[in-house]
C-alpha cells in the first residue's frame, strides 16, 4: 500500500500518488522551459558580439521562470484541462502529486542550471553547442520514459 501511495500502479492512482508516469513529463517540461529561456537569452546576446555570454544572474531567472511556469501549468492542468475533460481519468491531482510535479520540474531545471554552469564557467569550449545538445538529449530521455510508462 505504501508503494501505491508513492508510485501509481493502477490507472485510478495516477494523479493521486506522489509520482506517476506523468512525473517524467514534468521532468521533461522543466528541461524544455529552462532551455527555452536560456536559448532566448543566448539569441539576444548573439546581437551583442562584445558580450556573447549568459550572465550568471540570468541562470537564476531561468530557474525562477521554470518554477513559475510549473506552478501555472499545475493550476491550468487541474482547472481548465480538467474542466474540458482532457485530464487523465477526469480527476484532479492530489495536492501532494501537484507539489511533486512542480518540484520535479524544478529539479530538472536545477540539473540543467548546474550543467550549464559547468560548461559556461569551467569548460569554455563548445559550451553553446554542448549545452543545448545535452538539454535536447535529456528532454528526449525523460519524454521517452514518459511515453514508455504511459503505454
What is the reported pTM? 0.87
* Strands, E assignment, 5-44: none
Q: How many CA atoms lie within 13 A of 84 on its CB side?
A: 7
Q: Retrieve residue 19's grid coordinates.
A: 509520482
Q: Is residue 15 part of a domain?
A: no
Is residue 126 in a domain?
Answer: yes
What does each C-alpha distance from 127 to 11, 19, 113, 120, 140 come to in angstroms?
42, 33, 13, 6, 20
Q: Does a structural domain hold residue 2?
A: no
The three cell numbers of residue 13 are: 492512482
Inside any domain, residue 12: no
pLDDT of residue 80: 95
Question: Per the structure, how many domains does the chain have?
Answer: 1
Domain that holds residue 28: 20-42+55-150
pLDDT digits (tens, 9 = 90+) for 119-144: 877 877 778 788 999 999 999 999 99
Residue 50 domain-assigned (yes or no)? no
108, part of any domain: yes
Residue 2 has pLDDT above 70, yes or no: no
Structural contact between residues 21 and 150, judged by C-beta atoms closer than 8 angstroms: yes
In-domain check, residue 110: yes
For residue 28, tell me if it sits in a domain: yes
The reported pLDDT for the residue numbered 137 is 96
Amino acid at each position: 500500500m505504501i508503494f501505491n501511495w508513492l508510485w501509481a500502479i493502477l490507472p485510478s492512482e495516477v494523479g493521486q500518488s506522489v509520482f506517476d508516469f506523468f512525473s517524467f513529463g514534468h521532468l521533461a517540461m522543466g528541461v524544455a522551459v529552462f532551455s527555452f529561456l536560456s536559448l532566448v537569452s543566448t539569441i539576444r546576446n548573439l546581437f551583442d558580439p562584445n558580450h556573447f555570454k549568459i550572465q550568471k544572474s540570468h541562470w537564476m531567472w531561468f530557474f525562477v521562470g521554470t518554477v513559475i511556469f510549473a506552478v501555472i501549468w499545475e493550476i491550468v492542468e487541474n482547472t481548465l484541462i480538467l474542466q474540458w475533460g482532457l485530464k487523465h481519468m477526469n480527476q484532479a491531482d492530489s495536492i501532494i502529486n501537484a507539489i511533486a510535479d512542480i518540484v520535479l520540474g524544478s529539479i530538472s531545471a536545477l540539473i540543467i542550471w548546474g550543467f550549464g554552469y559547468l560548461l559556461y564557467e569551467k569548460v569554455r569550449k563548445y559550451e553553446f553547442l554542448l549545452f543545448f545538445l545535452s538539454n535536447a538529449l535529456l528532454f528526449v530521455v525523460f519524454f521517452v520514459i514518459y511515453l514508455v510508462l504511459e503505454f
